[in-house]
């Protein structure tokens, strides 16, 4: 009986831990909005609790609770506690940044701050709360169940939210871009023109254009996304729809596009890409950046878990998915391409070349 009750309490703790998983995200959002990572970064070294509370824009009556917020965030790996002082001097612990919280600093080139805040936005969270209802109704997406229209129409009608979404895409692009233009130059060398389909505000295309001055880059996105964006010497912005005609180029670039769409729509997009590029003998190709899901893997690591979470996010937002290599190969073949090559060089995402 003692054994049975121990098992029951362990099961109860497991349920509480999983049910309260949202606590990590909500606490992280709070820390970012209060500017905790930036306060520690500006301090230049580990901060004591009192130094931290003094630096934050909080009501003084709430200061005693900051240590509880920091405790959960330290446990989740966003901050680390360091012993301050040396020798015989007794000093309190101080909070320091970890590699994760360094990616959440404001105004840093590789910051994921905007991306994290968008994923934790009430609009997104409300969508998750509609998941069980969506499974039982006729709506195309859980986003539609929650908000009455699909995500793309919703963003198109709300300039503020659209701006936030584009900022989050740009923020998520920075790290990938850094690797693309330093470690993956071979993908772009020899190209004279490239169209970034669904390229948003041009974060990636702009960096590629800067790295390869002889490469003519075009960002091709919806009118409300590219309106008022300034072209540069070898970077243009063109409004349009990838389900219509895609501007011709040596190569088409699809970064986190296919995972937003079901198989049928992906085949349509890929067929339009194929029409826009020359044959393989002339160097035509489609360059894709997306997650490739693992199959038959039992030792799940942080990367795998992040991929599964992203796959669920795609289900909830777009009724789409992250694909296995087999699923990708099927799309590529159905769209009339001859082959592909996968380079797993971008963390949870891969760089994929597809050949006509």
Of 226, 268, 235, 273, give the one whose Cα is nearest residue 251: 273
Which pLDDT score is estimated for 302?
A: 86
**Cα–Cα distance measured from residue 201 to residue 255, given in angstroms and rounded to the nearest whole number:** 13
Least confident of 113-122, 265-274, 313-322: 113-122
pLDDT tens digits for range 16-39: 988 888 899 999 999 999 999 999
Band of residue 159 on the pLDDT scale cut at 50, 70, 90: confident
Of 142, 100, 106, 113, give the one whose Cα is nearest residue 125: 142
Instruction: Report the phi/psi class of residue 317: left, alpha or beta, with left for phi > 0 and alpha for psi in -120 to 50.
Output: alpha
Q: Where are the domains of the chain?
A: 2-102, 113-355
pLDDT tens digits for range 238-252: 999 999 999 999 999
Per-residue pLDDT for 89 more than 60? Answer: no
Band of residue 87 on the pLDDT scale cut at 50, 70, 90: low
| 3-state SS, residue 353 | strand
Contact call for residues 282 and 249 (beta carbons, < 8 A): no
| 3-state SS, residue 111 | coil
Q: Which residues, in sequence order, are CB contacts of 117 under 8 Å at separation 6+?
A: 29, 32, 33, 164, 168
Q: Does the annotation count 147 as an active-site position?
A: no
> For the residues 283-296, what does the mean pLDDT come to?
92
Q: Pick the more confident residue, 271 or 203.
A: 271
Q: 2-102: which CATH number, 3.40.50.720, 1.10.10.10, 3.40.50.300, 1.20.1250.20?
A: 1.10.10.10
Q: Residue 309 has which token pair? A: 């979470």
Of 234, 339, 337, give the one whose Cα is nearest residue 277: 337
| Per-residue b or e along 43-72, where b marks 16 or more CB atoms closer than 10 Å to that residue's CB | beebbebebbbebbeeeeeeeeebeebbeb
Q: Which of 14, 147, 259, 298 is catalytic?
A: 259
Per-residue pLDDT for 86 more than 70? Answer: no
> For the residues 195-207, what does the mean pLDDT come to?
92
**Cα–Cα distance measured from residue 100 to residue 77, given in angstroms and rounded to the nearest whole number:** 8
Contact call for residues 218 and 196 (beta carbons, < 8 A): yes
**Cα–Cα distance measured from residue 203 to residue 174, given in angstroms and rounded to the nearest whole number:** 7
CATH of domain 113-355: 3.40.50.150
């Amino acid at each position: 009986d003692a054994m049975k009750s121990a098992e029951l309490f362990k099961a109860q703790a497991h349920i509480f831990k999983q049910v309260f998983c949202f606590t990590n995200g909500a606490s992280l959002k709070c820390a970012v909005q209060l500017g905790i990572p930036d306060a520690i970064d500006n301090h230049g070294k580990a901060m004591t609790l009192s130094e931290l509370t003094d630096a934050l824009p909080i009501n003084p009556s709430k200061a005693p609770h900051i240590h509880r917020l920091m405790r959960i965030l330290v446990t989740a790996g966003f901050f680390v506690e360091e012993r301050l002082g040396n020798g015989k001097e007794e000093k309190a612990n101080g909070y320091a940044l970890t590699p994760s919280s360094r990616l959440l600093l404001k105004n840093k080139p590789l910051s994921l701050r905007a991306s994290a805040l968008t994923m934790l936005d009430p609009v997104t969270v409300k969508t998750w709360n509609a998941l069980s209802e969506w499974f039982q109704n006729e709506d195309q997406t859980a986003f539609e169940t929650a908000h009455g229209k699909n995500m793309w129409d919703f963003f198109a009608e709300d300039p503020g939210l659209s701006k936030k979404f584009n900022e989050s895409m740009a923020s998520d692009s920075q790290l990938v871009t850094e690797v693309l233009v330093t470690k993956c130059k071979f993908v772009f060398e020899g190209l004279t023109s490239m169209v970034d389909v669904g390229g948003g505000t041009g974060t990636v295309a702009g960096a590629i254009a800067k790295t390869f001055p002889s490469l003519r880059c075009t960002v091709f996105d919806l009118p409300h996304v590219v309106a008022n964006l300034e072209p540069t010497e070898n970077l243009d912005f063109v409004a349009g729809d990838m389900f219509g005609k895609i501007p011709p180029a040596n190569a088409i670039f699809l970064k986190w596009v296919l995972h937003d769409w079901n198989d049928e729509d992906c085949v349509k997009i890929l067929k339009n890409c194929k029409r826009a590029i020359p044959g393989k003998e002339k160097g035509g190709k489609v360059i894709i950046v997306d997650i490739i899901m693992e199959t038959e893997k039992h030792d799940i690591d942080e990367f795998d878990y992040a991929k599964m979470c992203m796959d669920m996010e795609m289900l909830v937002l777009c009724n789409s998915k992250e694909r296995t290599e087999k699923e990708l190969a099927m799309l590529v073949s159905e769209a009339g391409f001859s082959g592909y090559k996968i380079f797993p060089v971008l963390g949870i995402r891969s760089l994929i070349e597809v050949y006509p």
